Structure 1
């Protein structure tokens, strides 16, 4: 609609900057949505294409924290990654996507002055990944549905921060493809903790 008005020449010159900003914002959101849909389609239809190799999960977590540091700083949120140098068998790109989606959500729904912590722990045959924030939290009635495609707890806020509603669904698929499990603890007004347990070795079965 904005583009059509600009193309028709009926927009005042002082409004062009505002209109073009809206167009850019929505185009970027559409790109993210298409990318997420493609990722989910690939995970649904061609998981056998994924190559598994040795992954140092803490290094991946630290890379994610560095990547999101500027975005977190803009919201006055500190993001840290710490823990143990746990090594597991997995797909490096997909594991990075899992951590990125969880940490990005924690930043998006965090509070100013808050903390997002990504922690990696080594536990014999398993590796634990925890992403914790002290943000707005998730109501109990929504907690069972947050991994569904396009499900959003706060639709208006999700749109404002650029969410597609597919990030946690990608997380769920990625964890399942690594034969892992997810648990969630959250309280409204206090924050959310998502904990994933991965086996260190992936069996052919």
Structure 2
């Protein structure tokens, strides 16, 4: 008997209303036997006889009609290639209904909460990571300030002041990256025709002081004419800036970072290469995750927030492009971004934090 037929005894209005609900609903009679369910229930349950979820709901309905039974609420994990988690709520009911033959029974409501739990986990990890990343420089600033208090040696004062400035910039950079990432995820920005040649040139000029301080050379290989894409200029600047800054930060003194912009196969191409230590193959996919670091100690030494490549990935996805990473330990890293010329307005974020 189909779900619509089973619920038809409530009348067409009731049946239609229940079938429109995304939540699975199952009614049981006084013996705990299922007598009615809506369309969502059948869609969510693979098998009522053999499936993990179907069997668990049947068991809980039987428990709910026992004397003295109260509400039951639990999460049911369904294994598989893509495991799912369902939240199940079962309670006895005393309402007289046609479905239960005019006697007491039980009702089960359940829904797929896999995505909700994933987002909640991402949010918890995000808050924990931000707290950890802020704790380190703030703790250092506090200790350095204590050491500086009452210090009269000019050389020591200069050294401690410089370190306080470094830690303060680290906090500032982290906050700036967090704001950039949040803006990218939640706001489409204003889309316009953006010249990637100008963007790359501006970024190289901006990063040059840091590169000189670290003893790293930055070379730009740019077309003589404009290379325009449709997109949000601030986001594209953030994309290129993070790529170039990463290249500089992870290069040894005397290293070279190359910035290349061109057209290839009908797409705009931005490629940034460095001569740094490289990234192990096992970490290639994970470097685009928030706060993931291949070498955490070295990243903190260079002031990295661990958000740069996550920002790059989000901007690229929002503009309909692709990003590829080539790297090997001891052989440097090359990140290549390809963007369609007619990318249009970037995808508007949902407000959820991406992994």
**Structure 1 length-normalised TM:** 0.89
- The CA deviation at 1:168 is 1.0
> Could you tell me which residue of structure 1 aligns to residue 312 of structure 2?
171
Equivalent of 1:128 in 252, 255, 269: 269
- The CA deviation at 1:76 is 2.6
Gaps of 5+ in 2: 1-141, 348-355
- 1:187-202 alignment runs, 5 A limit: 187-202=328-343
The secondary structure found in structure 1 opposite 2:221 is strand
> Could you tell me which residue of structure 1 aligns to residue 113 of structure 2?
none
Distance 2:168 2:249 in 1: 19
Equivalent of 1:60 in 199, 224, 236: 199
Q: Which moved more, 1:14-23 or 1:78-87?
A: 14-23
Preserved CA contact (<8 Å) 1:58 1:81: no
> Could you tell me which residue of structure 1 aligns to residue 352 of structure 2?
none
Q: Whose Rg is larger?
A: 2
- The CA deviation at 1:54 is 1.1
Preserved CA contact (<8 Å) 2:319 2:344: no
**Root-mean-square deviation (Å):** 2.0
Q: Which moved more, 1:72-81 or 1:191-200?
A: 72-81
Preserved CA contact (<8 Å) 2:292 2:306: yes
Q: 1:173 to 1:154 in 2, by over 3 A?
A: same
Preserved CA contact (<8 Å) 1:62 1:80: no
Distance 1:70 1:17 in 2: 20
Distance 1:172 1:45 in 2: 15
Q: Deviations over 1:109-138 (max 9, x none)?
A: 112222111111113531111111111111
- The CA deviation at 1:83 is 3.5
> Could you tell me which residue of structure 2 aligns to residue 86 of structure 1?
227
Distance 2:240 2:145 in 1: 39
Structure with greater contact order relative to length (CA < 8 Å, sep ≥ 6): 1
Q: Deviations over 1:120-179 (max 9, x none)?
A: 111353111111111111111111110100111111111111111111111111111111
Distance 1:44 1:100 in 2: 18
Distance 1:3 1:39 in 2: 29
- The CA deviation at 1:60 is 1.3
- The CA deviation at 1:67 is 1.7
Equivalent of 2:215 in 76, 83, 101: 76
Q: 1:89 to 1:41 in 2, by over 3 A?
A: same
- 1:6-85 alignment runs, 5 A limit: 11-14=150-153, 15-46=156-187, 48=188, 50-84=189-223, 85=226
Distance 2:162 2:216 in 1: 25
Distance 1:196 1:160 in 2: 27
